[in-house]
């Protein structure tokens, strides 16, 4: 009886730990996704304001209005 109770508690502890580990992985993944999205956005902004852009287009190179 005590053995079964101990096994049940140990399973719960292990499942909680694995849940926390999974949650932390998701958080890392989410922040990495946001980091990549930000970098892409910054590069897109840079393309519109770069020196080359102002060479090809007659008007001043500015960030496009959304």
Residue 23 belongs to some domain of the structure? yes
What's the pLDDT at 41? 80
Residue 17 belongs to some domain of the structure? yes
What's the pLDDT at 35? 86
Does this model's pTM top 0.85? My answer is no
Give the contacts of 63 (CB within 8 A, at least 6 positions apart): 45, 48, 49
Query: Looking at the predicted structure, is the pLDDT value of residue 36 above 70?
Result: yes
Residue 66 belongs to some domain of the structure? no
Average pLDDT over residues 58-65: 59
Domain that holds residue 14: 2-47
What's the pLDDT at 16? 63
Residue 61 belongs to some domain of the structure? no
49: number of Cβ within 10 Å: 13
Give the number of domains in the chain: 1
Residue 6 belongs to some domain of the structure? yes
What's the pLDDT at 5? 57
Residue 53 belongs to some domain of the structure? no
Residue 7 belongs to some domain of the structure? yes
């Amino acid at each position: 009886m005590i053995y079964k109770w101990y096994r049940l508690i140990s399973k719960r502890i292990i499942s909680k730990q694995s849940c926390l580990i999974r949650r932390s992985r998701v958080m890392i993944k989410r922040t990495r996704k946001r980091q990549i999205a930000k970098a892409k956005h910054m590069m897109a902004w840079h393309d519109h304001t770069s020196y080359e852009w102002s060479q090809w287009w007659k008007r001043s190179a500015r960030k496009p209005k959304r």
